[in-house]
Structures are given as structure tokens and as C-alpha cells.
Amino acid sequence: MIKLKKLISEKIAEKIEQFGDSGLTSAAIYDMLEYPPDANMGDIALPCFKMSRALRRSPVQIATAIAEDFECEGVASVEALNGYFNIKISNEYLAGKILPEILEKKEKYGAPDLGKGKTVVIDYSSPNVAKPFHIGHLGTTVIGHAIKMLHEFAGYKCVGINHLGDWGTQFGKLIVAYKLWGNREEIEAGGIDKLVELYVRINNTIKGDEEKGIPAREDLAEESRAEFHKMEIGDAENIALWKWFVKISLDEYAKTYKQLDIEFDSYNGESFYTDKMPAQVELLREKGLMKLDDGASVVDLEPYGMPPCLILKRDGSTLYPTRDIAAAVYRKETYDFEKCIYVTSNQQILHFAQWFKVVELMGYDFYDKLVHVPYGTVSLNGEKLATRTGNVVLLKDLFAAAIEKAKGIMEEKNPELRGRDDIAEAVGVGAIVFYYLTNNRIKDINFNLEDALSFDGNTGPYVQYTYARTCSVLQKAGSARDGKVTVTCDEEAALLKTLSQYEEKVLSAIRDYEPSVVARFILDVAAAYNKFYHNCQILSAEDKDVRTTRIMLTEATKNVLGSAFSLICLKKTERI
């Protein structure tokens, strides 16, 4: 619809020239155009209130003047109503321009031309090795990947980095726990769960339990720090253990990523920056930015209303922000990014604000290309998944539960279905992803598997089912397309108008780092298609032109849905 809206804005700009030089460009008018919530008010509308002052006329006068003898390609009729200029798009335009364009461009339809020659780095998922990969990581994983896919769609070169939490005192703890209670065969067999068990156990042991009269074990905490220090100075035994822990964890994550069809371009985690930090620490010193604070080295951020950013601990070891600073410099040098995007929970807003500021103070001019994209917290309602690992729900357990439920529902609905296991996985995982992504990212979310998996609500299964429906119509239609394209009913027109908003939705999702815009667009398309499907005969339409048009509309819907699914980690299901 962008093209048509541009055309309309130019015509409107010409019209208002009669009021003298108002300084209102057609681009400014373009930005004022709206899609009215009620189709009775037209397909596109211009509210004239904001222009009132610049044109020194009332909104009603402006709307009336624009509507007089208004003519523009693609416009069927216009009206001026209560200060709004309302436009109806012609069916000829929908049939002659929009539909052919969707079919011609196929999966490229809706792709904005934004990113040619530019690189974007997306740092996402990034679980902490040997700590649980839990539902808190769902957001960074799927929002991050959607942001990557959106940028790729818009022509950017994208580098997806899994900034693994693979360095830090937790490994000292794990080594102590392993030496105390671990067993190699058991861990080989049990994988990451066993590591997490050890990690939870050592933490609980260190903490003790006052109520039960179990004393805290500060000595074990001390020992853990010593083991980590040994890692830092390259102790062979500890490094070997660490590598093993990382491998076990990565093998496990790989399964989850496969379920989501996610691949990373780099797994350079925190450990990768060990030898890259000293230069940055040196630069901080040279610039006089480092201060001692109770033995630790910090950058004072008081003038910016933030607590100090920690760079080195008292014992000289580095911290999370130190590694992020070194990583940003490395990425700029390696990828020369246009943007480097970090997707994490909103609990890290301060962390990013702090070290972004430090990068600026260090004199790096790319500081304003660093973007933090935070999201709200996730909880789970009514499911007993939070057990063996303390009070967290593991992402893989959530997926497994959803797949199991999806299987049950599908057995009931469609016992004949072939390839049910794969489809159940696509539907189960898709249900979670979609439920999650229909919400604004910053909102806190309470999961309910029952709701997420329902085939009736605005859910993943519902939109995947709609996709499968388009596939089945097309399969039955074969190659029968012997008529002319002609739009004859409201349902067809409404569907085309919805499909034609795709590029605008993609642009807005990219601008706001908000994949939910795409998820909600998918719902709009599904609703429009299903209404069309129920009210209009497709294959049984008698008129050849009508039948051809409706088959082509189905194909256009399949294209757009399929393309939008791939932007948000939703698998395309040809059958359900």
C-alpha cells in the first residue's frame, strides 16, 4: 500500500497548494495518513486537524477542499466527513496492481529496501552455560531471531551472535561441585540436567539453610573463586573440565535451536574476549576514566545519574561489563556494523545503559550504534514444570510439554494425519512462540499452555491451520487458472487490502524492534482469509474469472503468511 499512499499524498499536496505555501510536503502528508478502524470510513483517511494551523483553515474546510474533484489512480471514491478526508481504494487497483505484485514477487513481497551494503549484529539468546536455559531466555531467543530475520528480509547483512555466558565464577563453583559429588559417566549420560543439578546443589550448600539449622559454607565459595582463578591462569585440568561443560551445554542448546530453526553465525561467548580486555582496560586508565572504589576499579557515572560501572574486581578479575565493552570494540572492528543490537530481559536495562555510556566516554564514535532491546518477564500459569532445577522452568521442558499437548489434540482432531510427530513439534513449539510474540515485547507475560495451544483463539495453531488451509485449496486447484483477475466482493477486497499492508508492518517492526507487529499482522491476514474462505466459493465458483481470482488470492495469502511466519520462527505447516 506504500506506493498508493505516496501517490495519494502527492495529489493531496497539490490540492492544498491552493491555500498558499504551507510548508507541508507530500512526505509529511504521507505520515499523517491512517487506516480507519471501521471500513465504512474508507480504506485510507487523512485527519485534517493537525494541518489546521499551518493552513489557517478549519479541518472541515480542508477536508472539503481536498475532496473536491479529487482524482488519483487507484482511488474509487472520496468523501469529506467531520474533518477527515476518506478514501476508498478501487477494486481495479487491487486486482490489477496489488494481486499481481504479490504473486510476482513471491516470498520477496513486502521486503523493504533498507539495508543494502549495511551490516547489523544481533546478540541474542546467549544462555549462561551450566546454569539453566529457562523460559526467561525464550524472549531473547525468539525476539532476537525475529529481529535478525526482519533485518535480513530488509536486505541487511546480519550476524547473529550467541554471546554465551561461558566464563565466570559459576565455573569455579561447578568444578568444586564436580570434584565433590560429580561422576563423569552420569554426566555424559544425563547431559546438562546433571550439570544444572550440581550447580543448584553447590549454590544451596554455600547458602546453607538457616531454618533447618544448616550452616552456610563460605569456605566452598572461597574454593570456587580459587578454582575459577586457576582457570583464568590457564590451569590445564580446569580448562579441560570447563571445555567439557561448555560442550555438554551446547549440545543441549542445539536441540532447542533446531526446534526453532535457529542457527547462529558465531558462538563467541564471554571467554572469547579474555585476551581482548586488557587493551580496553588500559585505554580506560589512559583516559583517566578509572577510579578505585573500595579496591575495585570502576567508571564513575554519577554525572549521568547512574551507579558506577564495574570494570575490575578487587582481585583484578574482569566482569560482565568489561567483557561487553571488549566485545563491542571487537565487533565494530570485525563487522563494521551499522547497528549492534542486544536483546535481553529488562533486568539488564541499567547494565547496558552503563557500559554504553562508558564506550562513549572512551571516545568510540560507534557508541550511538549500540542498541539495547529489552523485554518483560515470563511466567507460567497452571503447569507443574518448575521442579527439579529449583524454581525455574526450563525452555526444553516447556517445549516438550507443548509438543505433548499438541500431539494429544491432533490425535483427537485428525487421527489419519501422516508425519504427526514433526507436525506436533512444529505446532507445539509454534504455539509457544506465537503466543509469546503476539504481545508487545516489553509487557510481562503469563503463559497458559491451554490458551496457547487452542485452535480457536488467536493462536499459533490457528494461523498454522490457516496456512495449511491455503495449501490444501491450492493442491486441489492444481494448475486451473484460466480466467482473468477481477475483484467482485468485499471479502476479496478486504483480504487484498490486508495483504498489501505487509511492507508497512515490516518497516514498523524493524523501526521499533517489535516482532509483535508481524505476529498481529499474521492474525489479521488469517482472519481476512478465513472470512473469505467461509463466505466465498473458491473452487466451486461457477464463473471462470471469479474462480481464477480466488485461487490466486489463496496463493497470495500463502506467500505472505509463509514469508511472515519465517520472520518470527514459526514453521510452515502444509498439513495439520
Compare residues 340 and 564 and give the one whose CB is closer to ligand ARG. 340
Compare residues 161 and 525 and give the one whose CB is closer to ligand ARG. 161
Of 422, 513, 523, the C-alpha closest to 145 is 513
d(CA 228, CA 569): 37
d(CA 62, CA 493): 29
Q: At what angle do helices 544-567 and 490-499 cross, to 10 degrees?
A: 30
| Residue closest to ligand ARG (Cβ) | 165
d(CA 420, CA 471): 17
Q: How far is the CB of 164 from ligand ARG (least distance, A)?
A: 7
Q: How far is the CB of 513 from ligand ARG (least distance, A)?
A: 15
d(CA 59, CA 53): 9
Q: How far is the CB of 137 from ligand ARG (least distance, A)?
A: 7
Question: Which stretches of 233-319 are DSSP H helices?
Answer: 236-260, 277-286
Compare residues 57 and 131 and give the one whose CB is closer to ligand ARG. 131
Compare residues 166 and 425 and give the one whose CB is closer to ligand ARG. 166
Q: How far is the CB of 84 from ligand ARG (least distance, A)?
A: 46
d(CA 470, CA 533): 9
Compare residues 94 and 130 and give the one whose CB is closer to ligand ARG. 130
CA separation (Å) from 434 to 53, 437, 462, 511? Answer: 44, 5, 10, 20
d(CA 472, CA 554): 10
Compare residues 366 and 529 and give the one whose CB is closer to ligand ARG. 366
Per-residue burial over 303-342, b = 16 or more CB atoms within 10 Å of its CB, e = otherwise = eeeeebbbbbeeeeebbebbbbbbbbbebbeebebbbbbb
8 A C-beta contact, residue 402 and residue 452? yes
The residues near 247 (Cβ < 8 Å, ≥ 6 apart) are none
Look at the alpha carbons of 14, 15, 21, 26 in this order and tell me if their dihedral is positive or negative: negative
Compare residues 126 and 466 and give the one whose CB is closer to ligand ARG. 126
8 A C-beta contact, residue 67 and residue 88? no
Compare residues 47 and 139 and give the one whose CB is closer to ligand ARG. 139
The residues near 374 (Cβ < 8 Å, ≥ 6 apart) are 343, 344, 345, 346, 348, 349, 441, 442
Q: How far is the CB of 149 from ligand ARG (least distance, A)?
A: 19
d(CA 220, CA 336): 44
Compare residues 93 and 228 and give the one whose CB is closer to ligand ARG. 228
Q: How far is the CB of 256 from ligand ARG (least distance, A)?
A: 14
Q: How far is the CB of 268 from ligand ARG (least distance, A)?
A: 10
Q: How far is the CB of 248 from ligand ARG (least distance, A)?
A: 17
d(CA 480, CA 549): 11
Of 6, 16, 192, 1, the C-alpha closest to 94 is 1
Q: How far is the CB of 135 from ligand ARG (least distance, A)?
A: 12
Q: Count CB atoms within 10 A of the CB of residue 490.
A: 14
8 A C-beta contact, residue 83 and residue 46? no
d(CA 116, CA 155): 5
Q: How far is the CB of 324 from ligand ARG (least distance, A)?
A: 5
Compare residues 344 and 549 and give the one whose CB is closer to ligand ARG. 344
Residues that bind ligand ARG (CB under 6 A): 123, 126-128, 163, 165, 324, 342, 344
Q: How far is the CB of 123 from ligand ARG (least distance, A)?
A: 5
Cell of 7: 501517490
Residue owning grid cell 473458491 = 538
Q: How far is the CB of 380 from ligand ARG (least distance, A)?
A: 18
Compare residues 119 and 126 and give the one whose CB is closer to ligand ARG. 126
Compare residues 21 and 275 and give the one whose CB is closer to ligand ARG. 275
